[in-house]
Amino acid sequence: KNQVEQSPQSLIILEGKNCTLQCNYTVSPFSNLRWYKQDTGRGPVSLTIMTFSENTKSNGRYTATLDADTKQSSLHITASQLSDSASYICVVTSPIFNDMRFGAGTRLTVKP
């Protein structure tokens, strides 16, 4: 079972609307949690990164939240744009692992 679960698997919204993507994880102990944006055919690009002591982090129209007690994170996108169409991947790092654990991603499509 994957240690990082994302929902929904895919999402279609209209341009200008807001949306929220979810990430639940079981990775423990926990070091930090990242949200990446991956355009089709490209490598992931970091949007936000949070340690266990941070509850929220913003990057322009992207706002990530983290509840380390419930092991849940969300990524909120405000006033969506066509260029937001991409996969959004939640990644959790543990100090034990020498790598990061990736979710399968949420595929977001923004339509005009």
Partner 1 sequence: DTGVSQDPRHKITKRGQNVTFRCDPISEHNRLYWYRQTLGQGPEFLTYFQNEAQLEKSRLLSDRFSAERPKGSFSTLEIQRTEQGDSAMYLCASSLDASGTYNEQFFGPGTRLTVL
- When the beta carbons of 19 and 23 are compared against partner 1, the nearer one is 23
User: Least distance in Å: CB of 11 to partner 1?
Assistant: 14
Helix (H) or strand (E) holding 41, with range, is none
| Greatest C-alpha distance within the chain | 44
**Cα angle 68, 70, 76; round to 5:** 75
Would you call 110 helix, strand, or coil by DSSP? Answer: strand
- When the beta carbons of 55 and 78 are compared against partner 1, the nearer one is 55
- When the beta carbons of 13 and 49 are compared against partner 1, the nearer one is 49
Site residues (vs partner 1, CB under 8 A): 4, 31-32, 41-46, 49, 51, 89, 91, 93, 98-100, 102-105, 107
